[in-house]
Every structure is written in structure tokens, then in C-alpha cells.
A and B are shown apart, each in its own frame.
Chain A
């Protein structure tokens, strides 16, 4: 019989190895999924993971896209990982992302058609504030009334989507857009556009912000008292209380930071790759970022790598859709499967597998 024996502390080797193992298992299971859909599994996996980077025909387009897509994912996931480490579950990043985008774009549109250097920084600030404010709703309800932050933050996503619909059909609609829904195109408004900083790399301000967030989160978690408190609160809430950690302050901090980062990610997206506020500009990054945070083991550097990998599945998924006719939903299922495998093989880092006769437990 197979028996599991709890390790005194998580295995360092397996902590690093499990994400790799999970990706490998997902490739196998994904291959089976594609085979079931009547596609050549090897070709499908190669199209998703290899061609965007190394196929001469596509790489010129896909490589920059990698950073364009990874930027918001990393930015949001870094914020989420702080809360997840402390046992504070903000799963409404999608809502904070939408509200951040709306606040930031609102500021930009209010200045139209003025040209000034300060408009874009102001938009970024407004985006962060918008996301922060939206995340403060579950934070305050949690600290004041002990309301479950998981449910509140998630339900607020649906509220945010309604606000987005209302804005793109009403207040923010392009007055010169011939009645079509959607705002003015911010890409055509130089002071508000989040442009590519280095031609051909895909690096825009959101990607820069993502990298800065990785570094800051690393410093915070490893070199700062607050980071220690976050880790302590997650590993042992009781010990944290004895050590004088204020749980409410931690909730406000973690939800606030993750909301602000998600809001900024929304702004960078709406003023950059998406270009305008429209009913469906949000690509579900807020939810995918949850997978990114876990795949990166809630560690800043891990999240950086996981964000790039997840961006690759987005781009590869589009490519597979185009080349092989693999449906877009298959990629979504594929990403969900990755999280399953990751959580499943995680048992190896916390438990030792023993083979032997089963005793009466």
C-alpha cells in the first residue's frame, strides 16, 4: 500500500520541482484532450509551447506578445500572492482590474484633447486608486463585520462588469464613434497612450511595472518586517497574533496592494493593447492571475516565470486556434487543468510517499 507521511517541513527540492512536474503532466493530459478533440496531440502541444517562440514564421509576432500578455498577469499575480500567503483570499482581481481601467481611462478621457506630459502618470495613479478603492470594499467589510472576503470580492466582479457595460454604452462612449459602444481609442491620443517603449519587444509601461513589482515584492517578503508578518500570518495565525501582528491591518494592506496593482494592470491594458474601454476589453486576466500566483509558488521570481509561461499558453492557444482549429475554450480548460495538477503534485513537497504494509491507523 502507498502511505503518505507528513514531512517536518516542506521539501525544498520538490517545492521547485512540482511546478515543472505539473506542467509536464498537463502537457500529457492536454495532449489527450486534444486527441479527444480529433487533433494531433503532438502538433497541438508544439504549436502552443514551441512555435510562438521558435518558429521563424510566427516568432517575430509572438515574442513581443509574450511580454504584452505576461505584464498584466505578473502585476496582478504579485499582488494576489501577498494576500494568498497571509491566508487572505482576494479572488475578485478581475473586478479591481475593470474598475482601475475605468478610473484611469476616465481621467484620460476627461483631459481629451489636451496634450500634456502629466496625463498618463495621472491615469496610472487613478487606475491604481480605482482598483484600491474597489478592493477596500471587501477589506472593510472583512475587518468591520468579518464578512467572508472570498465571496464579497468575487461577487463584486459581476457588479464591476455591469458598471463596465454601463460606461462603455453610456458615459464613456465615443461621441464621434457613430453610436458604436466603446470609448475613444486611447492609442490615438498620444498623451494617454501606453505605447511600446522599445520597438519590437512588446515592452510597455505595464511590463515595466510588472518587473518593478516583482523586485519590490521580493524585497518586501525577504527583507522587511511586513513581509515576515505576512508569511507568519499565513503559516500560523495564532503565533502571529502572539507576535503582535495586527490581522486587520494585514487584511487592509494585502487587499489594498493587490487591488491597486490589479487596477494599474487594467489601466495599462485599456490604454495599451486593448486601446479603448469596451464591454469585453477585460480578457479574464484577473482570474488567470490566480493560476499564475499558485504556479509561481507565491514567490515573486516564480510568478515572473509562471506569468511568462501562462502568457505563452494564451499566445500558443491563439496560434493553435488559427493553425489547427483547436477551440479557444480548450485553452481555458488547459489552464484550469494546470492548476489541478499543480495542487495535486504539491502533496510531494509536504508529504513523503512510503511504500509498505498498511497498519491500522
Chain B
């Protein structure tokens, strides 16, 4: 099956129209659990980007040798291998940040977004298209994590990237763990609202 989108469109699709966090709603565990600050969001985003790109490349390279009936276990084991790689690298290179992330780096193995991109895209398309699709999805995830982290950090502790910006704490509630649900819910509603406005405006024009 040929893919009619250009490379740039593949990347843009992951970032915006099919954003894994806000649109596909496929990687909600980290978006709720690990988004208390921009820093942790960015770290996890980098790890997911790495795993997504390398698993997509691996599956895309070997797609002709994988029997369809065992494809899901194959995807899982491929992802698990790359997760082990990034897990060992991060624990050696950034021990402090790694301790903060806790178990979440290992849990990337069960993130639905990665398996889904392998199933929907990488197992059918060419290697270079898969690479750009994976980069788009990884960046889209990172963008989602950073946005949620920014909102929670700014409103919860009045800081941005660890620098005290406001000097006071507007809504301490947002730094509480369970506020992740509220922030994600409100942001999804916000994006839906913008989309509806945009669609209305376009319809009126035509």
C-alpha cells in the first residue's frame, strides 16, 4: 500500500491533527502520571521518541519476515528490547532524573501508542516513511507532555522549567497527582472548542 502523504505531512500529522495525547488519546498514563513539570515530561518524551523511532525502523525493515499471526508478540518483544536499551542508558547517564521517573521508563513497553503505530503504519509502509511517521508521533507525544507539564507547573508552583516566574503559587491543586486527570480533560475540551470554532468559521466562509 503506497502512502500518498509527503514526509513533512507525516511529521506534521503526528504533531497536530493526530496528536497521540490530545487527539488519539493513546498514551494517557504518562500524560496524567508524569506531567507535574516540564522537565519530567521532556525526559519521558525523549525516551518515547527514541523507542518509537527505533522500533518502527526495526519492524519496517523486517516486515516481510514476520508471520502475521505472531506479529503482536513480535512487536512487544521489539519494543521491550529498545526499552531495555534506553532504560540502561538513562540510568547510567542521568541517575538523578532516572530516579525521579521511577518505573515509568520501563512501562514505555506497554504504551499503546507505540504498538499502534507499528500495527497501523510501520508493518505496511517503507522504511523512510515509517521513520518520519515515528518522528512525528514521538514529537507529538513530547509536545503533549510538555504542554501539560507547562500548565501544571505554571499554575501549581508558579514556575517554568524550574525557574520561579510568578513568585507565588496560583493554584496549588494542579501540582497534586490527581489533578493530572482534570488538566488533561480540560485541555482536551479546549482543543475541541478551538477546532469547533475553526470549523464554524470555515463553513461560514464557503
Does B associate with A?
A: no
Q: Give the interface of A toward B (CB within 8 A).
A: none
B residues engaging A (CB < 8 A)? Answer: none
